[in-house]
Structure 1
């Protein structure tokens, strides 16, 4: 039950150039053809016609921006092969550390990695996997010449409407690029565990319309400055079709990826997750209409926040702070919005009576 938890306007140079081109085009059109009703008769016979104005091509500018970013960022994206899975990764540093999704590495310890400058796969070993945030770091056993670390951007500066490119190996097609925009920020998303995910609930995710397919996981979501702003992790599922919903993908924010990967590289593990914890394990319970009605406490971790607040096995949690709790997922999402050390209230039922406890949240 854990979670992590002033934007500065970012303007894209390509957009500015495109806007300028449109303005110039409008000026040219108006100068040549937006004349008053008597303009034709007032023009002197034989008068010189103004030369057409040459207008910059906005589409060419945007295309050039795409190509520049791809040349800059794609060499930092690798393909990762496990024995039964395939995904992508991002070169974290020049020592061969690669950050990816925990669900890409699974329970395995060794991998084959194909980098931009090597046709033959290289071998790599697991450094540490952190399923709670669906992040992991592996390390190349031999660092090839020319290995290029990615540039990680500031997730706080990501804005809705920014153009982004998703880079990775969807369906095994290495070095593939798709484009879209940032559709939303600050999403809290829970992964499934039955379909290969870690079951993690992840806060502050970046939603994008750029296509994210199997194999993209662990790759790079890049802005037009060539900075990694997220790690594509999963696509939304259409509940009616049971398949991925087109144009709705989610990426772990780059700042979180950098924080977790940095700890793994320095310490060999995560020492400061930033994810709030209640210190219990639980399960969803239903009411007499078979509707989800809360989370039953299965175990209370000794010395943890819940234990210190007096919660016991069998208590049914129905609210954290002001947020109603009906399922284990809703409890995870409520905690994802909080931080370790934060004080909150937990409303629960015991022996048919409702009670409230003050809890100081811990850390996973």
Structure 2
């Protein structure tokens, strides 16, 4: 029997707020006498401690009226990147840091729901240094990584794992404050990601943030977490989106392909999924310009079936604005195809 795995956002959670602590220097590591570099298990332990010591101070705990999440200090101006589902519909926040000290207030700059990213800005002086964001395109499967954040309200927590896979396309379920969205180019990791980790940091051994932990998989057959399967938004995506928000206050170039339609999943009288029904087309948009109309049911993009809105979004996430695709749809009792030049979401 095929086991059903789904993903859940690991963001806002209510919980007891406890202070964590960082590790100190190891005093029992062994070193290569020729190079002075730690070797074996001691090398891993000492490297972990050094990464935690340098990066953890840049990790924030973001407290909202509904719970909490994590964030990463992005620049010297006090911008903090987090998940859109962490901030929800709120515009003001209380932020604490692993270094301790009094909480500071922060205000929302902007959210970008399609990639589940948001930027808030500290009001006043920033008490810590920003993190360094690396290039996720340089990652390799098997690299060691650390996840940093505030899982279950346990601030300044760190878990370790590896990069399990790259380039995942994952659909994030809808929440009370945001619709479902499909995110491409995600990093799969075995580092534990739990509620409250959302918006924190996935860090490599070069002390660079290479992802924003966002989702964890759950095993519906067991009714709980699927251990060792978590997902982070790649740092390349984060930098592209956050740089626009910081510069312009909004996303002006999403890089996400769109048909420019409002849709819903359609089933027949026996509840069999048959395609994606077009509720509305945007005038001057990609679908409308190609002749697709409200009432049409899209069944395929190129050679890929699209029985649900989720599947349609997954297909579009793998494409780029300006790509030309073949769209197959039903109109009345007929099946038709058109060529569509994709727009931008």
Same fold (TM over 0.5): yes
> Per the alignment, do residues 198 and 116 of structure 1 end up closer, same or farther by CA in structure 2, a change over 3 Å counting?
farther
Deviation at 1:189, TM superposition (A): 0.4
Corresponding residue of 1:259: 240
**Which among 106, 118, 129 is matched to residue 136 of structure 1?**
118
Q: 2:330 matched to which residue of 1?
A: 349
Larger CA Rg, structure 1 vs 2: 1
Q: 1:115 matched to which residue of 2?
A: 97
Q: 2:218 aligns with which of 237, 254, 257?
A: 237
For the residues of structure 2 that align with 1:72 and 1:103, how far apart are their CA atoms?
27
Q: Secondary structure at the match of 1:314?
A: coil
Q: Distance in 2 between matches of 1:286 and 1:293?
A: 5
How many Å apart are 1:195 and its aligned residue? 6.9
SS at match of 1:312: coil
Report the counterpart of residue 265 of structure 2 in structure 1: 284
Write out per-residue CA displacement over residues 224-247 of structure 1, whole angstroms, 9 at most, x where no aligned residue: 111111000010121223433111
| 1:71 corresponds to 2:42 | no
Q: How far apart are residue 270 of structure 1 and its match?
A: 0.4
RMSD: 1.8
Contact 1:105 1:136 in 2 (8 A): yes
Match of 2:67 in 1: 85
Q: Which protein is richer in helix relative to its size?
A: 1
**Aligned to 1:262, what secondary structure does the other structure show?**
helix
Measure how far apart 1:75 and its partner are. 1.0
For residues 115-194 of structure 1, the aligned pairs below 5 Å read: 115-145=97-127, 147-194=128-175
Structure 1 counterpart SS, 2:194: coil
Q: Which residue pairs with 1:32 in the alignment?
A: none
Residue 118 of structure 1: CA displacement?
Answer: 3.8
Task: Give SS of 1:257's match.
Answer: helix
SS at 1:108's partner residue?
A: coil
The range that moved more, 59-68 or 111-120, is 111-120
226, 232, 236: which one pairs with 2:207? 226
Residue 38 of structure 1 is matched in structure 2 by none
Inter-CA distance 117–144: structure 2 relative to 1 (3 Å threshold): farther
Q: How does 1:353-364 map to 2 (within 5 A)?
A: 353-364=334-345
Residue deviations 1:304-336, cap 9 Å, x none?
Answer: 000000000110000011211000000000000
CA separation in 1, counterparts of 2:267 and 2:139?
40
Name the TM-score, length of structure 1 as normaliser.
0.83
SS at match of 1:263: helix
State the shift of 1:60 in Å: 0.6
CA distance in 2, matches of 1:195, 1:68: 39
Contact 1:87 1:217 in 2 (8 A): yes
Aligned counterparts of 2:224 and 2:258: Cα–Cα separation in 1: 32
Shift of 1:276: 0.5
Assess if the C-alpha contact under 8 Å between 2:89 and 2:177 holds in 1: no
- Which of residues 221, 228, 231 in structure 2 aligns to 1:247? 228
1:311 is paired with a residue whose SS is: coil
DSSP-derived class of the 1:259 partner: helix
Per-residue CA distance 1:114-154 (angstroms, 9 max, x = gap):
02334321000000011111000000001234x21111111
What CA distance in whole angstroms lies between the structure 2 residues aligned with 1:90 and 1:143? 16
Unaligned runs of 5+ in 1: 1-19, 22-55
TM-score (norm 2): 0.87
Identify unmatched segments of 5+ residues in structure 2: 1-30, 33-37
Contact 2:98 2:155 in 1 (8 A): no
1:213 aligns with 194
Q: For each residue in 1:164-183, what CA deviation from the matched residue of structure 2 results, as whole angstroms up to 9, or x when unmatched? A: 10000000101100000111
Structure 2 partner of 1:294: 275
328, 339, 356: which is aligned to 2:320?
339
What is the rounded CA distance, in whole Å, between the counterparts of 2:56 and 2:139 in structure 1? 20
